[in-house]
């Protein structure tokens, strides 16, 4: 079962730089435009060490060397400092939702031992792509840096619930090691737990508690592979992890909608006909007011359904899986809308019926419906498929059976930032091997 290890974290020294200007989203949420904005905002922003610009240059090691150079310089000049002792870390994240609600999400930051595939201790729920796994492996070998934690969820037990209550009470009477308030109003507070008895208690509480990977599948897989490649170097066997209870009010999840851009001409009528082989068109209409999409999102009915948007002008289509198809599906997970979109829209229709390849269309996951609408209105996308969030209990059951949903199917809001607490495995020294 999970094995947790205390560690001495690296973090930005607030006496040298403004940590709020140095944080960033996880690497896979930063596009080139955001990268340049973050670096212009602060030359010590973590993206310079976490997201080597130009990393997709085939065979080029230079971006990873540059990332290692930045990390080395920041350590040598005191931009980054290290906690004086190893411990676990209690992290409280206060944030606002777009509708103005205020929430807190809390959890522990620890090193989590990576496990072989199929282990019941760590449960992945999403498939991974090879390219980002390879990118993270190259980055880790170059820098040793884990700049943001893999996000784990656990189902609370009596022991973990009592532990959390005691830690919260303790934190109320002790100063935080780190407190960062960012420009968007989010507050990040971190307490270091170094007492040997408490460290032992935390490890014991989680000794029999399976961990579900909520976010960070590619980072976890990269560390898992490196651990297998370097069995004589145990330091590579641990992943920087953030462990949060799956039953807390601050755990917010969103659907990860699919925005599709076609790179070849497509006849909308032909596409609808092809979709009609597997799905029944139940309703359609124009969206003169984009806010009306909420009426469609909430529509129920019998059988699995997906909501498709197209435009401009904006149009909405409500598709329902054909009853005869629904009746022959033996696994209830096959009726999740992320599976329906992946299998019947992308694989059966675009790739199978129309004969398209991966070069003929691009799929961009987006969690925010207003951003989806804007992409269609501006022509950056041609169609979109809205998907519901997968309930967390369903994720645990699915992952417990060894099943995985397509990549980028779940989005927990907000993301855990990069640069708040960091772990350096064995560097920062670039390894040519």
**Taking the CB of residue 4, how many other CB atoms lie within 10 A of it?**
23
DSSP string, 352-403: IIS---GGGEEEEEES-HHHHHHHHHTTS-SEEEE-PPPPHHHHHHHHHTT-
Find the Cα–Cα–Cα–Cα dihedral 214, 418, 119, 222, rounded to 10°. 120
DSSP string, 269-280: HHHHHHHTTTEE
For 355: left if phi > 0, alpha if psi spans -120 to 50, otherwise beta; the answer is: left
What value, to the nearest 5°, has the Cα angle with vertex 361 and ends 359 and 367?
Answer: 130
| Sign (positive or negative) of CA dihedral 103, 107, 111, 115 | negative
Q: What is the DSSP letter of 140?
A: H
Domain extent listing, the chain? 4-252+413-424, 257-388
Rounded to an integer, what distance in angstroms lies between the CA atom of residue 90 and that of residue 92?
7
Is 4-252+413-424 a CATH 3.90.1530.10 domain? yes
Place of tokens 């949060």: 244
**Over its length of 433 residues, how does the chain's per-residue pLDDT go in tens digits?**
669 999 999 999 999 999 999 999 999 999 999 999 999 999 999 999 998 775 555 567 889 999 999 999 999 999 999 999 999 999 999 999 988 999 999 999 999 999 999 999 999 999 999 999 999 999 999 999 999 999 999 999 999 999 999 999 999 999 999 999 999 999 999 999 999 999 999 999 999 999 999 999 999 999 999 999 999 999 999 999 999 999 999 999 999 999 999 999 988 788 889 999 999 999 999 988 888 888 887 676 666 889 999 988 999 999 999 988 887 787 888 889 899 999 999 999 999 999 999 999 999 999 999 999 999 999 999 999 999 999 999 999 999 999 999 999 999 999 999 999 999 997 543 333 3
| Sign (positive or negative) of CA dihedral 411, 301, 266, 309 | negative
Query: Partners of 239 in the beta sheet?
Result: 112
Q: What is the DSSP letter of 20?
A: H
Q: Which residue intervals of 23-129 are DSSP H helices? A: 32-41, 47-50, 62-77
Residue 3 structure tokens: 């094995």
Is the model's pTM score more than 0.75? yes
Rounded to an integer, what distance in angstroms lies between the CA atom of residue 410 and that of residue 408?
6
């Amino acid at each position: 079962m999970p094995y947790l290890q205390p560690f001495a974290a690296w973090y930005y020294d607030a006496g040298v730089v403004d940590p709020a200007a140095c944080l960033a989203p996880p690497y896979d949420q930063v596009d080139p435009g955001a990268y340049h904005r973050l670096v212009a905002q602060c030359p010590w922003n973590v993206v310079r060490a976490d997201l080597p610009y130009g990393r997709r240059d085939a065979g080029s090691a230079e971006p990873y060397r540059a990332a290692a150079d930045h990390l080395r310089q920041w350590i040598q000049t005191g931009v980054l400092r290290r906690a004086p002792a190893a411990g676990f870390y209690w992290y409280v994240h206060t944030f606002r939702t777009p509708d103005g609600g205020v929430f807190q999400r809390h959890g522990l930051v620890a090193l989590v031992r990576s496990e072989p595939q199929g282990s019941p201790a760590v449960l992945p729920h999403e498939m991974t792509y090879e390219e980002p796994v390879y990118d993270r492996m190259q980055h880790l070998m170059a820098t040793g840096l884990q700049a943001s934690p893999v996000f784990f969820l656990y189902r609370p037990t009596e022991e973990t619930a009592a532990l959390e209550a005691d830690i919260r009470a303790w934190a109320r009477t002790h100063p935080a090691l780190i407190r960062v308030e960012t420009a968007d109003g989010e507050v990040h507070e971190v307490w270091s737990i170094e007492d040997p008895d408490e460290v032992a208690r935390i490890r014991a509480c989680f000794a029999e508690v399976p961990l579900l990977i909520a976010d960070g599948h590619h980072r976890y897989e990269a560390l898992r592979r490196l651990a297998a490649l370097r069995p004589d170097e145990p330091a590579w066997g641990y992943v920087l992890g953030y462990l949060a209870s799956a039953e807390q009010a601050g755990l917010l999840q969103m659907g990860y909608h699919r925005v599709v851009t076609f790179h070849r001409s497509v006849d909308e009528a032909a596409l609808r006909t092809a979709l009609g082989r597997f799905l029944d068109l139940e309703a359609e209409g124009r969206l003169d007011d984009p806010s009306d999409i909420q009426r469609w999102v909430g529509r129920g009915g019998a059988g699995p359904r997906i909501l498709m948007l197209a435009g401009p002008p904006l149009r909405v289509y409500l598709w329902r899986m054909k009853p005869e198809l629904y009746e022959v599906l033996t696994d209830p997970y096959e009726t999740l809308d992320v599976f329906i979109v992946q299998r019947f829209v992308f694989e059966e229709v675009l790739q199978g019926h129309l004969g398209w390849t991966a070069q003929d269309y691009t799929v961009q996951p987006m969690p925010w419906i207003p951003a989806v609408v804007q992409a269609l209105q501006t022509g950056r996308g041609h169609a979109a498929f809205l998907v519901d969030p997968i309930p967390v209990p369903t994720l645990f059951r699915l992952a417990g059976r060894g099943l995985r949903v397509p990549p980028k199917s779940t989005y927990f809001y907000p993301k855990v930032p990069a640069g708040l607490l960091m772990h350096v495995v064995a560097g920062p020294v670039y390894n040519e091997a």
